[in-house]
Each structure stands twice: as C-alpha cells, then as structure tokens.
Amino acid sequence: MLSATDISVSFGKRPVLNSVCFTANAGELHAIVGPNGSGKTTLLRAMTGDLTATGQTLINGTDIADLSPAELAQRRAVLPQSGNIAFPFTVLELVRLGLHAGMPSRAGFDPNLPQKALTRVGLAGFEGRFVQDLSGGERQRVQLARVLVQIWEPVLNGAPRWLFLDEPVSALDIGHQLIVMQLARDYAEAGGGVVAVMHDLNLTAMFADRITLLNAGHVRATGRPDEVLTDGDLSACYGCALRTNTPPPFGGKWILPQAIANRTHVGA
C-alpha cells in the first residue's frame, strides 16, 4: 500500500499543496487528475521522495524518509513529466540507466531486459538510435522503458513495487496511448502499484481503478471512476461545463477507443 498523509508543499510563500492525503492499493491503477497547476506533479514528487514536503509517505508501511536512495530505487520508479536528455545517449544506453538507478551496479539482472522493455513500448529495433533524433512520442516511450527496467518485476520478495507515471501518454497517438495504458494495467494486475497523473479523462475513465481529483492543492474527490468523474466536480475544477456520457449536441463525430479486452468496468 502507498499512503501519504498531510502532504503540504509551499514554493516561497505560496502554498501549492495543503494537507493532501492520498492512498493507493497495490494491484490497482490510481490516476491523479486535475487542472494545470493544481499540484499533481508536486504531489507525485513529494510521494516519490524527489521533493521535500511536510507530511509522511509510507511505501508498503515504510516511511520513504527512512529509505536509502538504493532502497527507494528498488521499491519505486518515476517517469517525470518532461524528460529532456542533455547528453547524446543512444536509446539502449538511456534504457540501461534504469538498471543502475540509485545504485552503482546491480548484479544478476537479465541482460535482455532493456530489449524486452523496448519491445513492450513498441520500440524494438530502436536500440542504436540517438535519443535526441527521436520524435516526441518515441522519446516518451524510451523514458518509460528506462523506468520499467528499474522495477521490471511488479513484486519483489513478496512486496509490491510502485510505478509513478507523470503524464505517461501526453505525447502519444491514440494507438500508443492504449498500449501504454494497458502496460500500466498489466503491471497493476501482476501485483504492482501504479500511480499515474493523467489529463485525458476518457482514457482515465477506461483504465483507472481509482481516481483522485486535485484542485488548487486540495483533494476535491477520490474514489472509483463513477464516483469521481461527475459533471459537477469536473465542471467546477476545470472551469468549463462538462457532461459525462453525453453525445455532443451538434452531432458530428466523437472518437473514443473501444473498451479494452478482459476488463469489467469498475462501478458499471
């Protein structure tokens, strides 16, 4: 279980998160949604130990403040919102960095792991390409492969591991969005925990087990998709009139991916 209590963050004198509490279960995909600037990235960074915050975050019952960088790196991996690369890495070199996150070397890992991860994100054959020569969506998937190799097995010594993904599909076309969201679901269904910041509310409704809706540094709602994705809360948070499950009044086309296989919709 992931449990964050009374997380508060201020930048200068400006409070950005105000006593936020957040709980996620292993075996589930928990999405964090909310408008730009509502504090999603800040909350994620506080819970991964990448940002100093007041409050407490427990990963599987252990306070992250009590974990060494190497211990933390074995328990959780983080896909940041933007991952620009300043060095001329090849794809394979970048993905291999995930094997060494938080520690100088890791003995006994499967040498084919980077290739497996690249295949999983649809980038088999990209190993020798330079990362800065890739398209935006390709770069985002390389970064995801790097994160995956860090904690490839969703459960280690009986304990779930945690994937923190900050807008993992923001640069992806609709087909690759589905591949990545299914990958995240598979990780959860294999026993790991996934916390994903999302802007696409339709994909979120389709894939998330739980959703937390943040607004102005507060939790506006948290629960199952049908509990959180309500016309009232969404309209109030995003500042525009939003209607769920209603075709557009002007007709025309609207395009949604078909329901994913083998998934009974939560709350349906």
Ligand X SMILES: Nc1ncnc2c1ncn2[C@@H]1O[C@H](COP(=O)(O)OP(=O)(O)OP(=O)(O)O)[C@@H](O)[C@H]1O
Sites of contact with ligand X (CB under 6 A)? 11, 16, 34, 36-42, 81
Distance of closest approach, residue 38 Cβ to ligand X, in angstroms: 4
Query: Should residue 74 be labelled a site residue for Mg ion when binding is judged by CB under 5 A?
Result: no
Closer by beta carbon to ligand X, 95 or else 181: 181
Per partner kind, with CB cut-offs from 5 to 8 A, the member of Mg ion, ligand X, none near residue 42 is ligand X
Query: Should residue 41 be labelled a site residue for Mg ion when binding is judged by CB under 5 A?
Result: yes
Per partner kind, with CB cut-offs from 5 to 8 A, the member of Mg ion, ligand X, none near residue 38 is ligand X
Interatomic CA distance for residues 90 and 127, integer angstroms: 7
Query: Should residue 215 be labelled a site residue for Mg ion when binding is judged by CB under 5 A?
Result: no
Distance of closest approach, residue 93 Cβ to Mg ion, in angstroms: 27
Q: Nearest Cα to 16, choosing from 39, 36, 34?
A: 39
Closer by beta carbon to Mg ion, 40 or else 210: 40
CB-based contacts of 73, cutoff 8 Å, min separation 6 = 101, 102, 103, 150
Question: 24-63 burial string, b = 16+ CB within 10 Å, else e?
Answer: bebbbbbbbbbbeebbbbbbbbbbbbeeebebebbbbeee
Interatomic CA distance for residues 92 and 73, integer angstroms: 20
Q: Nearest Cα to 197, choosing from 183, 184, 178?
A: 184
CB-based contacts of 188, cutoff 8 Å, min separation 6 = 26, 27, 28, 29, 154, 194, 209
The residues facing 219 across adjacent strands are 214
Per partner kind, with CB cut-offs from 5 to 8 A, the member of ligand X, Mg ion, none near residue 11 is ligand X
Distance of closest approach, residue 52 Cβ to ligand X, in angstroms: 11
Per partner kind, with CB cut-offs from 5 to 8 A, the member of ligand X, Mg ion, none near residue 114 is none
Per partner kind, with CB cut-offs from 5 to 8 A, the member of ligand X, Mg ion, none near residue 37 is ligand X
Distance of closest approach, residue 213 Cβ to ligand X, in angstroms: 11
Per partner kind, with CB cut-offs from 5 to 8 A, the member of Mg ion, ligand X, none near residue 254 is none
Distance of closest approach, residue 197 Cβ to Mg ion, in angstroms: 6
Closer by beta carbon to ligand X, 72 or else 214: 214
Interatomic CA distance for residues 82 and 139, integer angstroms: 10
Binding footprint of Mg ion on the chain (CB under 5 A) = 40-41, 81
